[in-house]
Chains A and B, each alone.
Chain A
Amino acid sequence: MIIGLAYDLLRAEEKFLIDAARRLGHTIKPIFILRRIDWLNDTSSEEYRDIGFVLERCVSHYRALSSAAILEGKGVAVVNSYRIIRDCGDKLVTTAILASKGIPVPRTAVAYSKEKAIEAARELGYPVVVKPILGSWGRFIARATTEDDLLDILDFRESMSSPHFKIHYIQQYVDKPDRDIRAFYVWGRVPVAIYRYSKRWKTNTALGGRAVKADLTDEQAELIIKAGDAVGGGVLGIDLMETKDGESLVGEINAVIEFRNTVQVTGYDLAGDIIKSTVEVFKK
């Protein structure tokens, strides 16, 4: 099968996927989006006629979103789809979808003013976590242990020029062990997961969290599958937080996954799994 790979930066993950596709006998067509002009009124799919599907791999969320929309407009199958990238790219939307489908998520409030944000935090009880609805690698995520902390954070957010910082997404602080779980969802399965250990409360590997192979309980695997299905399936990275009461809550879901640390510590050929499973889906 010819597999397109839409990208803006060639990272380790893209190389793993290219290598896996070639190893499995497929042909990769690189689509480097920064050097292209795409005409939206030209809906011809001639260029993509022989492509089975395109893996959307842009590191920039907005480039991933827009290039997925352009490709889908030309009738090309994109993994993940525009809709999934959009829904998982916004924490507010992801949490709303998960909550509406009965998936356990941390208690979360959204407020459009400082006053209402403080009111919500009082109801949640401190500490609380304030997250940008659009953001990555743990940036601009802050914990407020007192109302004073929260006021500082809100003042800072309201002085930012991007309008999304004025939408305050305030979440219950989950007092988890010094780790969280990053599980990978591949077309309805959970083939591999890691714990991310950190002495910091933010466990992102981008911030130095240490990856260790995780063995999920059946309940956790089932929860991951439900969460992945809830946002529309495909290939996802799903974060779980374990509470002190033994409950697991779904944090965020990522639609353009980073997995080099997972491959390194588990030895699992996730790229090969993604290629094989996605080819199976589009063969049908």
Chain B
Amino acid sequence: MFIKGDKVLLFEIPSGERVVPKLKCPVCEGLVDVPDDALEGELFEHQECGAQLELVVENNQFALKIAEEVAEDWGE
């Protein structure tokens, strides 16, 4: 899913148009660069504070939340 303005797009956005702004880190409130082609559920490490963050869509807006911790049934 991709967000462009207030539209939710299911498929790819044209390259060259930045639709993901810098997002606020929920841990340190610093700004985090998120690539244009990022997908919901993608993880980012905030270089400034070291937090592991996950890209989410809330109310049709991109946001970052603290990433889910590894659970017992994760992985192979």
Contacts and interface: CB of A to CB of B under 8 A. Distances in A.
A32 interface: yes
A191 B72 CA distance: 30
B76 A254 contact: yes
Nearest to B42: A10
Contact of A136 (B40, B41, B56, B76): B76
B1 A61 contact: no
Contacts, number: 57
B75 interface: yes
Interface residues of B, number: 19
Contact of B75 (A8, A34, A59): A59
A44 to B, nearest CB: 17
Nearest to A65: B73
A27 interface: yes
B57 A136 contact: no
B69 to A, nearest CB: 11
Contact of A30 (B39, B54, B68, B72): B39
A162 B10 CA distance: 39
A284 interface: no
Given A29-B10, A136-B76, A9 B39 contact: no
Given A9-B68, A60-B71, A32 B76 contact: no
